[in-house]
Amino acid sequence: MRWLSLMEKLRAPLMILPAVATIILLFFGGLLVGLGQSLGYFPAIDSYDLTLQYYAEVLSDNIFFESLWQTFRLALLSTVMSSVLAIALALVLRQTFKGSRFFTFMFQLSIPIPHLVAAAGIVLLVSQSGILARGAYALGLIDAPRDFPVMVFDRPGTAIQLTYLWKEVPFIGVVVLAVLQGIGPQYEEVARTLGANSWQRFRFVLLPLIMPGVLSTSIIVFAYVFASYEIPLLLGVRHPTTLPVLAFQNYQDPDLSLRPQAMAMSIILTLIAIVLLVAYKRLANYAVSR
């Protein structure tokens, strides 16, 4: 009986053990290899002595800090704008109106689409040879398609931001919409009977209720954008580029002596992301408690 009781308690952990073990092996195995190479242990170039030289080289380069600022700026702006737009659209879609189900479906349509496909669509839409430029030229708003504002390969990263917004707003919005539909209108009705206006009902009733969902999804968005390299690589300028792109370029360089620097950048990027996520979560939790 004790054996059966023990097996019953361990059944759930044993069922998820293969998946968890695979994740741990791939993640921590890769992290361990990257850490070793960043410290100089790289047998491919006959380097076996552990050293902090590559970290010192990375941290003494101004390009690293320019890329770090670019990465942080894109991640922060994408997270804030996606959260604000997601909340606004969820508040609209929670209402019952003609065609609401269709608009809700269209709102969620971009979630399963890969980021690379979204980037290609943004290029076709906002580049100087894209649909908007040709439409503006056809309407006589500009003299030639090349007069259309530069949104691809620009320093502010307009196309990058548009790609992330198109992908991440529905991701956050679906969670917010589910929370709003779950709580129903009764809390707002009580606040309305107590004399609260529309802003007060949102600020003191709805926002605290949806904030846990917004925080959980926005943390995921921030972490993804901060560590993403494919969209900035395809749509961003070559300098200053984001830190993941800079690490990726050094990693792919035929000169293997740059590989330890790329790994050092990746480790530093991981540590910075962890620190920022912890600080963001604590700040957000403090805001919710207030």
Average pLDDT in the 113-121 region?
A: 89
**63 Cβ contact list (under 8 Å, min separation 6):** 239, 240, 246
Position 231 scores a pLDDT of 92
Domain that holds residue 76: 61-119+151-161+168-289
Residue 282 lies in a domain: yes
The 10s digit of each residue's pLDDT in 84-93 is 999 999 998 8
Please check whether residue 223 lies inside any domain of the structure: yes
Asked if residue 124 belongs to a domain, the reply is no
Tell the burial category of 231 from Cβ atoms under 10 Å away from its Cβ (0-12, 13-18, 19+).
buried
Q: Which residues of 123-136 are buried (b: 16+ CB within 10 A; e: fewer)?
A: bebbbbebebbeeb
Question: In this model, does residue 51 exceed pLDDT 60?
Answer: yes
194-248 pLDDT tens trace: 888 888 888 888 888 888 888 888 888 988 898 888 899 889 888 888 999 988 8
For residues 150 and 158, give the distance between their C-alpha atoms in angstroms, rounded to a whole number: 9
Q: Is residue 267 part of a domain?
A: yes
Per the DSSP assignment, residues forming a β-bridge with 42 are 47
In a domain, 284, yes or no: yes
Q: Does residue 264 carry a pLDDT above 80?
A: yes
Encoded amino acid at 117, one letter? V
Query: Residue 41: inside a domain, yes or no?
Result: no
Which CATH number characterizes residue 255's domain? 1.10.3720.10
Question: What's the one-letter identity of residue 155?
Answer: R
Domain count, the chain: 1
- Residue 219 belongs to a domain: yes
Q: What is the 3-state secondary structure (H, E, C) of 128-153?
A: CCCHHHHHHHHCCCCCCHHHCCCCCC
Cβ neighbours, 10 Å, residue 274: 11
Model pLDDT, residue 287 = 65
- 30 part of a folded domain: no
- State the average pLDDT for the chain: 85
Please give, one letter per residue, the 3-state secondary structure of 178-193: HHHHHHCCHHHHHHHH
In 184-229, where does DSSP find H-type helix? Answer: 186-193, 198-201, 207-227
What 3-state class would DSSP assign to 47?
strand
